[in-house]
Amino acid sequence: MNLANDSAASRDIYDWDYVLWEVRLMLLASGFFIYLGVFLLSHWLSSWISATYRALSGTEKAFWNTHMTRGLFAVQSCGAGLWALFIDPVFQTDQVYSQQKWSWFHCLIAAGYFLLDNVILHVSNIIFRVFDVVSVVHHLFAFGGILGVITNIKSGHYLILMGLLLEMTSPSTCISHVLSKIGCANTRFWKANQWVLIHMYHCRMVLSYYMWWVCISNWNDVVENLGLPYFIVFFMGLSILTLILNPYWTYGITEKFFSLVDRNSPNTSAKNESSGKLNETFQKKRI
C-alpha cells in the first residue's frame, strides 16, 4: 500500500477549478443525481425486502426513503464538518475567509442534495396534498444557506461546514423511523438509539450556539465576507433554527421516546387511540 499515491489520488478528486460556473453546476448536478439514485435504490430495496414497506401509504414511503437518503448524506456531512472543526489547520486558523478545495467539493455536492431534498418535499406535498410548514421553512433555508457558496466564490466555508455537521442527528432519526414502522419501537435497541438521538439533538443545539459565537466574535468580517443579502438569509435561518426548530424537534423526539407518538404519521396515533377505546369498550361488555 503506497500512502503517497493514495494521498495524491485523494487530492486529485478535489482538484477542480471551482471559479468556473460549469464546474460548480456540474458538481451540484452530481450531488442531485447521486442522492436521487440513493432515494430510488432505497425504494427498490425496501419494496423487495420489507413487507411492511409495501403496506405503507405513499406519504409514508416518501418519508421512509427520505430518511434513508438523509442518513447516508449525514455520513458525508459529518465527516466534512468534523474535519473542519477539529483537524484542518486552515479552518482552525481562519473561521471567516478560509476555503479549501475539499470543502468546495463537499459543499457543492451538499448543495445538490439540498436541492433534491426540496424537490422531493414539494412534489410530495403536491401529490399527497399535505403541507408541513416547519419542514418547508427548514428545507428552504437549508438550501438558501448553502446557495451562497455557489453564487459567491469569496465566501468562507467554515460556517457552512458547521451547518452540514448539524446533520449529525439524521442517522439515528432514520433508524428510529424504520424501527417504529416495522413494529420494533418497544425494543431495547430502539430505546438506546432514541437516547443517542436525544443526545445528538442537544449536541446540535450546542453547535448552533457555537455558530452564533463565531458570527458574533467576527461580526463585521462575516458580514463583509458573506455579503449583506446572503448574510440576512444565513442570519434568519440560524435564528429560526436556534430559537424554534431545534427546541421543537428536541421536544418532539423526547415526547416520542416516552409516548411512542409518530409525528410523521398522525393517523397512526389516532388509529391506536380509537382501537384502544374499542378494546376498552369490548372488555367492559365482557365484564
Which tens digits make up the pLDDT trace of 262-272? 555 544 443 44
pLDDT for 152 equals 87
pLDDT for 285 equals 37
DSSP secondary structure string, 196-221? HHHHHHHHHHHHHHHHHHHHHHTHHH
pLDDT for 216 equals 96
Instruction: Compute the mean pLDDT over every residue in the chain, rounded to the nearest whole number.
Output: 86
Evaluate whether 112 touches 74 at the Cβ level (below 8 Å): no
Q: What percent of the chain has pLDDT over 70?
A: 86
Confidence of residue 261 (pLDDT cuts 50, 70, 90): low
Average pLDDT over residues 181-207: 93
| CA pair distance 192, 101, nearest whole angstrom | 38
Q: What percent of the chain has pLDDT over 90?
A: 64
Q: What is the pLDDT of residues 85-117, one digit of tens each?
A: 999 999 999 999 999 999 999 999 999 999 999
Confidence of residue 145 (pLDDT cuts 50, 70, 90): confident
Average pLDDT over residues 53-81: 94
Query: When comparing pLDDT for 35 and 59, which is higher?
Result: 35
Average pLDDT over residues 57-85: 95
Q: What is the pLDDT of residues 22-34, one digit of tens each?
A: 999 999 999 999 9
> Please, what's the largest Cα pairwise distance for the chain?
79
Query: When comparing pLDDT for 141 and 246, which is higher?
Result: 246
pLDDT for 149 equals 80
Confidence of residue 128 (pLDDT cuts 50, 70, 90): confident
